[in-house]
Amino acid sequence: MDIALSQDMSFITLILQASWVVKGVLLLLLFASVASWWLIFEKIFTLRRERLQAEVFEREFWGGGHTEIVKRADEEDRRSSLEEVFRAGWREFRSKRKLNVAPQTVIESARRAMRAAYQREMDQVESYLPFLATVGSVSPYIGLFGTVWGIMNAFRGLSNVAQATLAQVAPGIAEALIATAIGLFAAIPAVIAYNRFTHDIDRLASRYDIFMEEFSNILQQEMGRT
């Protein structure tokens, strides 16, 4: 009797015996969990690469490598997000300066070009973050829906039973609670990752903002010498 009860209450058996609505909820949560974990690892490597590339570019730029960086400003190969921002500002500055327009107009035009390039780069870095936020906020409620539905079915099944016992209601409640557990399993990593990535992206954005301001000062000094 104990062996049969143990087999009936196993995790796999409970899932297989669940109603089609609960199974659908579990499949949806499983897909959300797998997709969010894939995005988590992809974002980890992406942000690490962006941070390292920014450090390399800043070290080269502020270490006296302006000439080499300017030489490759017209190249089409992509090196880093920060260098793309620099290229946009430098190209705009160079083209506007040839038109003999007002110095302030040249600087403002270069700033706008850098800001546009910055926005494009940040859009790429922030891609799919809303998906993690959605998984983190919605998954518990989807799991709760599966739990409520499963408990409703469990009690409906007891409606024709003269005397209900814990052994009769336990499997139905257990299979229903699995949906809540899977919902939390999908939501918790997504929320943690989203908060961490948002913090890292804010720091990266602040780094780019500082560079744009410092480079704008350099361009202003360059205009003052002409």
What are the residue ranges of helices labelled H in 19-128?
20-62, 66-71, 81-97, 103-125
pLDDT of residue 156: 72
Q: What is the helix (H) or strand (E) element at residue 74, kind and residue range?
A: none
Residue labelled with tokens 């301001």: 213
94, amino acid identity: R
Query: Read out DSSP for 103-150?
Result: HHHHHHHHHHHHHHHHHHHHHHHTTTHHHHHHHHHHHHHHHHHHHHHH
Evaluate whether 190 touches 84 at the Cβ level (below 8 Å): no
> What H or E segment, with its residue span, contains residue 167?
helix 166-224
CA torsion, ordered 15, 17, 22, 28, to nearest 10 deg: 40
pLDDT of 23 reads 83
What's this model's pTM, rounded to 2 decimal places?
A: 0.81
Q: Count the neighbouring beta carbons within 10 Å of the beta carbon of residue 2.
A: 6
Q: Find tokens 């039973």 and name the residue.
A: 161
Q: Taking Cα atoms as reference points, which of 189, 151, 178 lies closest to residue 25?
A: 178
How far is the C-alpha of 137 from the C-alpha of 135, rounded, in Å? Answer: 6
Per-residue pLDDT of the chain (226 residues; tens, 9 = 90+): 444 444 455 666 766 666 788 788 889 999 999 999 999 999 999 999 999 999 988 888 888 666 667 777 666 667 788 889 998 888 888 888 888 778 888 889 999 999 999 999 999 999 999 999 999 999 999 999 888 888 887 777 666 665 656 566 666 677 778 888 899 999 999 999 999 999 999 999 999 999 999 888 888 887 766 5
- Please give the Cα distance from 10 to 17 (Å, whole number): 11
- Please compute, for residue 101, the number of CA atoms within 13 A of its CA located in the half-sphere on the CB side: 14
Domain range annotation of the chain: 25-224
- Count other Cβ atoms within 10 Å, centred on residue 123: 9
CA 220, 60, 72: angle at the middle one, nearest 5?
75
pLDDT of residue 133: 95
**In this structure, what token pair is assigned to residue 47?**
């942000």
